[in-house]
Structure 1
Amino acid sequence: MATAEILIHNARVLTMDAAAPRAQAVAIASGKILAVGTLREVERFAGPETVRIDGENGSLLPGFVESHIHLFSGAYGRRLMQLATVAGFDALAETIQDYATANPDEGLLIGQGTPYDVLGDKGPMTRHVLDDILPDRPLIVMAFDFHTAWANTAALKAADLLQGRDVGAGNEVVLGKDGLATGELREKNAMMPVLHLRTSGGREMLGMSGLEPATPPTPEERAADIEVLKEGMRYCAAQGITAVHNMDGNRYLLELLHEIEQAGEMACRVEVPFHLTAEKPLSDLDHASQMRADFHSDMLKSGRVKVFVDGVLESGTAVLIDDYANRPGWKGEPIFDADTFAKAAVEIDRRGLQISVHAIGDGAVRIVLDGYEAAQKANGKRDSRHRIEHVEVIHPDDIPRFAELGVIASMQPPHPPGILDLPLEPGISAIGKARWPLAYAWRTLVDAGAPYCFSSDWPIVAIEPLIGIYAAQSRKPWADDTPDQRLTLDETLQAYTWRGAYAAFMENRTGRICPGMMADLVLLGGDIETTAPHKIPSLGPVLTICGGQITHQI
């Protein structure tokens, strides 16, 4: 009989296994769960070398699965100017000027996390506002969702954007009535000319474009990039996360992670996609197929293709079926139109790869669902588990299609306007009251049988799953006649554990606490079932175990 290396006892074990949903103790050996049950049942696996951990009546769960994350940019971004908690012109000016003073030689000053309403009732952000704060050095501040940025005049001139520029479908350098750029830059193609002004760093968005580094990184850069990834994984482990689904990447990122894996320093499991942009030919999917073939371990794998079909509601780059409520005559412009995306979906699916698509507006969601349906008709139905990321607005006709097509709704509880510290505007006005009932429609989709998982989209919002669980439990409708879209605690925990594992084809190896499953666990500092929702974020975690290895402990 095998002997336990670790025995966790005196815990409130929530196994996420319908056949045996609760237990008191868990034994671990050789990276897997050896036994689950009462202390008496599990104790017989203990030996003199067994490490015993007292759960102190805390909830013991399968390790959290972070199903939508930007690992490198999240970790690196913690070093940049942080604006998420800044409110008002004076506070913004002080933060920027202090950062500028501390970084006198930087060619471009970058801030991130900026709320859309950072100026309150003082009007929208423009280059003139930023000029009043910092007129003589290039400056860009990124919105918290990274889909909008604002640059000052110095940055726009240096990037040759002051007169505007065609930056491709779904992207925009916003122009004012005077024909000059207002400073607002919508989506990646509009921001990149400014971001290229950096004279140091420049690696904070590594992998976001899906392109390989233009020039081979130096040994020093490679070593620094590895440290950023290790720092990011350790930060994930501290939040109880044992697996992440990265939403950007390239082969270089996979190679860095493989080096970390070979050194035995992976603090969590990582899955990295191939990023198909509108500029890439479908023949580039050969790289996606090769990435899958080369990286397929339990700790590091590829095999998914990430696509953006639209942007975000706040800046008007999300694609809607009907006009924006606050912008008559505008529905948004898709990055991939319906025909182009359908052709891509058919080819990706033909290769046996999984697809995950950023689609926020109901028009974008329909484009994606139509593409997935076309792939099924062309290639035959299979267990593809294609995903739609965000699904922030959905048309009633498309609700049942998730279950019919087996499409996973990958959603983020901390994202709805008004939740936690997010502003209501401009989100709810862009959506419009007529669409509110089916905005962030978690309850509606789950009741319709849609497969689903939850995540943060870090660094867009805080990564902590406990904050996401609180958000899923505490969201309030925007109006009395708007349905309550909250899920139960059990449904929410499923979304952060086995349903996340299912979304990555890992549900038979992790996501539940059962004998033979990989030992991915998180111990909380209290009983989550008896804790008021607003106190859930304070529960820890106090212990994280990935593959039988302790990756975080307090």
Structure 2
Amino acid sequence: MPLAEIIITNAKVLTMDEGNPRAEAVAIAAGRILAVGGSAEVEALAGPETRMVDAGGRTLLPGFVESHLHLVLGGNELSQLQLGGVQGFDDLARAFRAYALENPDLPLLMAQGAAYEILEAPVTRADLDRVLGDRPIAMMSPDHHTVWANTAALRAAGILHGAAMPPGHVVVMAADGTATGELLEFEAFSPVLALTGDLHLQLGIATGGEPEPWPDAGQRAKDKAKVAAGLQHCAAHGITSMVNMDGNRYTCVLLKEMEAEGRLTARVKVPFHFKPHMDLSELDRASAMAAEFRGDWVTSGFVKMFMDGVVDSRTAYMLQDYPGTTEWGAPLFEAERFKAICREISRRDLQIAVHAIGDGAVRQTIDGYEAAGRPDLRHRIEHIELIDRADLPRLGALGITASVQPPHPPGAMDFPMSTMSHVFHRDRWRDAYLWMTLADHGAPLAFASDWPVTDVSVMRGIQAALTRVPYEGCQDERVGLMQVLRAYTAGGAWAAQMEGLTGVLRKGMAADLVLIDGDIEAIPAEEIGRTGIALTIAGGRVTHEAGRL
């Protein structure tokens, strides 16, 4: 047996391998796990060049699998104004004006994380004109489905007097025939985002298209720097694999170039994004991406779709009116056409992932998967924020993965509880943000953050999963620690069709590991989110280290 390059010993190893669930040490070499077992037997594989890491009783896990994020968007946003926690006009104005002084040459001052309740009333362009009137400014909601822009930004984007939009995408208009400043969904706010000069990075989610013209080497270098920032941010949180929920061939090319340059620090699965306006023949591009990108580090092989929007803007598709309104939202795909699309994608042996938040969207997505008849492809539903009870058993019966996000339920982490009353009838709270109930009905769970919609921190996500307080009069939807950890590791790998490569600590598997800064079974649940990541290793390479261990 070859000698180890790195040995982590004196650890509480939770392998996620049902045949060998616990160990004390792991040895790695040539990017793979060489051995998992007791400290003495593993340390025997050390040579003079082996790096020995004494874990000091800390927990060692498979590297975290982030099952739903937006890597390129998140990396790009790291340098933008962050409005998380900002509340009220004075604080908003202070933040924007300071950012403007620091960035005098930006064509658009873009902010992220603006709460829907950031002002006492719905935000208008007049509000933002008072914040800053002489430069284009805009701010994105945390869910990334609404943007508010000032008059200068709307005028520069050419949409001050409105614009024709596809169904579900809205430039909200005032009675005087001008835009209010509120822009709902990607097509509506893309003209504003284009002012930054990096709209080509949004294409994977906005249109499903490719950059035209193709970015030259200089532009690709700038784009890769943003991806590298996102990767570094994720590595600091123990993430070694991720399912990127937007993308196109350009995304894959950037990642493959970074892999060749030795700069890719996580395994990334990238979709082809199928939009409602596309013809089925566009799926030839999805098949081509699947054939071209099939390595251990950059892979495609799945198709992403949006069935609806989000609850906050009432664009999620419901089976009944939103409280106090006559609005239901609407599906972005017609039901029979969606079934035909699912059949065609499945015929090509490609996986499907659909954003479905409202119970109407969830039902229509399940119907499409049922029509496709391919449970072996592990089709997924992303979010499932509300589901009709009649649809629960269908998930398990059809082998549909529930890709859900512990940070999302209002009150669990950063989103305010007030959202519940605005968007869900009180008697439906028992059907909202289900985890235990979905699992009990046979749906495999994959956990994620949806970064940059929420904090990418897996440790905070684990805490949210374990400490979420049941809604009044509702059942407890928490799952246990081991089930939570599995959903962030082996469960995520299985859902991403990567279970033969990563997700468990077993001899021969990829050397993807995370050492947390404590014993996760001993840390009080309410303190897990403050626990750091001591060491992240992806493919045998240290990608994050909190001081020399």
Q: Does TM, scored on the shorter chain, surpass 0.5?
A: yes
Alignment partner of 1:356: what SS?
strand
1:257-296 counterparts in 2 under 5 A? 257-296=255-294
In structure 2, the residue matched to 1:158 is 156
Please list the CA deviations of residues 73-110 of structure 1 after superposition, one character each: whole Å capped at 9, or x if unmatched. Answer: 10110011111121111000111122223333333221
Is the contact between residue 407 and residue 414 of structure 2 (CA under 8 Å) also seen in structure 1?
Answer: no
Is the contact between residue 349 and residue 384 of structure 1 (CA under 8 Å) also seen in structure 2?
Answer: yes
Alignment partner of 1:522: what SS?
strand
In structure 1, the residue matched to 2:180 is 182
Q: Structure 1: any 5+ residue segments left out of the alignment? A: none
Is the contact between residue 465 and residue 478 of structure 2 (CA under 8 Å) also seen in structure 1?
Answer: yes
Distance in 2 between residues matched to 1:18 and 1:222, nearest whole Å: 43
Please list the CA deviations of residues 239-282 of structure 1 after superposition, one character each: whole Å capped at 9, or x if unmatched. Answer: 11110100111111111111111223221111111011112211
Q: Which moved more, 1:417-426 or 1:506-515?
A: 417-426
1:200-279 counterparts in 2 under 5 A? 200-202=197-199, 205=202, 207-209=204-206, 210-279=208-277
Distance in 2 between residues matched to 1:326 and 1:501, nearest whole Å: 42
Alignment partner of 2:215: what SS?
coil
In structure 1, the residue matched to 2:27 is 27
1:87-486 counterparts in 2 under 5 A? 87-119=87-119, 122-198=120-196, 200-202=197-199, 205=202, 207-209=204-206, 210-327=208-325, 329-376=326-373, 381-479=374-472, 481-486=473-478
Is the contact between residue 407 and residue 450 of structure 1 (CA under 8 Å) also seen in structure 2?
Answer: yes
In structure 1, the residue matched to 2:525 is 533
Is the contact between residue 63 and residue 489 of structure 2 (CA under 8 Å) also seen in structure 1?
Answer: yes
Partner amino acid for 2:303?
Answer: V
Partner amino acid for 2:47?
Answer: G
Distance in 1 between residues matched to 2:297 and 2:377, nearest whole Å: 21
Alignment partner of 1:330: what SS?
coil
Q: CA deviation at 1:420?
A: 2.0
Distance in 2 between residues matched to 1:173 and 1:44, nearest whole Å: 66
Distance in 1 between residues matched to 2:156 and 2:4, nearest whole Å: 62
Q: CA deviation at 1:549?
A: 1.5
Q: CA deviation at 1:31?
A: 1.6
Distance in 1 between residues matched to 2:139 and 2:420, nearest whole Å: 19
TM-score by length of 1: 0.95
Is the contact between residue 375 and residue 400 of structure 2 (CA under 8 Å) also seen in structure 1?
Answer: no
Is the contact between residue 24 and residue 38 of structure 1 (CA under 8 Å) also seen in structure 2?
Answer: yes
Q: CA deviation at 1:478?
A: 2.7
In structure 1, the residue matched to 2:49 is 49
CA separation of 1:326 and 1:532: change in aligned 2, threshold 3 A: farther
Q: CA deviation at 1:217?
A: 1.4
Partner amino acid for 1:492?
Answer: V
Q: CA deviation at 1:165?
A: 3.2
Is the contact between residue 282 and residue 344 of structure 1 (CA under 8 Å) also seen in structure 2?
Answer: yes
Distance in 1 between residues matched to 2:41 and 2:511, nearest whole Å: 18
Is the contact between residue 274 and residue 303 of structure 2 (CA under 8 Å) also seen in structure 1?
Answer: yes
Q: CA deviation at 1:525?
A: 0.7
TM-score by length of 2: 0.96
Q: CA deviation at 1:552?
A: 1.3
Q: CA deviation at 1:427?
A: 4.1
Alignment partner of 1:466: what SS?
helix
Alignment partner of 2:100: what SS?
helix
Distance in 1 between residues matched to 2:18 and 2:195, nearest whole Å: 54
In structure 2, the residue matched to 1:493 is 485
Q: Structure 2: any 5+ residue segments left out of the alignment? A: none
Partner amino acid for 2:490?
Answer: W
Q: Which moved more, 1:228-237 or 1:72-81?
A: 228-237
Q: Does 1:80 align with 2:80?
A: yes
Is the contact between residue 169 and residue 334 of structure 1 (CA under 8 Å) also seen in structure 2?
Answer: no
Q: CA deviation at 1:40?
A: 2.0
1:509-520 counterparts in 2 under 5 A? 509-520=501-512
Alignment partner of 1:205: what SS?
helix
Distance in 2 between residues matched to 1:467 and 1:333, nearest whole Å: 33
Is the contact between residue 356 and residue 362 of structure 2 (CA under 8 Å) also seen in structure 1?
Answer: yes
Pairing partner for 1:546 from 525, 538, 543: 538
CA separation of 1:522 and 1:108: change in aligned 2, threshold 3 A: same
Distance in 2 between residues matched to 1:26 and 1:245, nearest whole Å: 26
Please list the CA deviations of residues 350-390 of structure 1 after superposition, one character each: whole Å capped at 9, or x if unmatched. Answer: 100000011100100011100001111xxxx4511000010
Is the contact between residue 127 and residue 183 of structure 1 (CA under 8 Å) also seen in structure 2?
Answer: yes
Please list the CA deviations of residues 159-178 of structure 1 after superposition, one character each: whole Å capped at 9, or x if unmatched. Answer: 34334333111111223445
Partner amino acid for 1:411?
Answer: V
Is the contact between residue 9 and residue 24 of structure 2 (CA under 8 Å) also seen in structure 1?
Answer: yes
Is the contact between residue 375 and residue 398 of structure 2 (CA under 8 Å) also seen in structure 1?
Answer: no
Distance in 2 between residues matched to 1:507 and 1:58, nearest whole Å: 25
Is the contact between residue 345 and residue 372 of structure 1 (CA under 8 Å) also seen in structure 2?
Answer: yes
Distance in 2 between residues matched to 1:204 and 1:478, nearest whole Å: 39
Please list the CA deviations of residues 485-517 of structure 1 after superposition, one character each: whole Å capped at 9, or x if unmatched. Answer: 111111100000000000111112211111121
Aligned Cα RMSD in Å?
Answer: 1.5
Alignment coverage as a number of residue pairs: 545
Q: Which moved more, 1:508-517 or 1:289-298?
A: 508-517
**% identical equivalent positions:** 50
Distance in 2 between residues matched to 1:532 and 1:373, nearest whole Å: 42
Alignment partner of 1:135: what SS?
coil
Partner amino acid for 2:54?
Answer: D
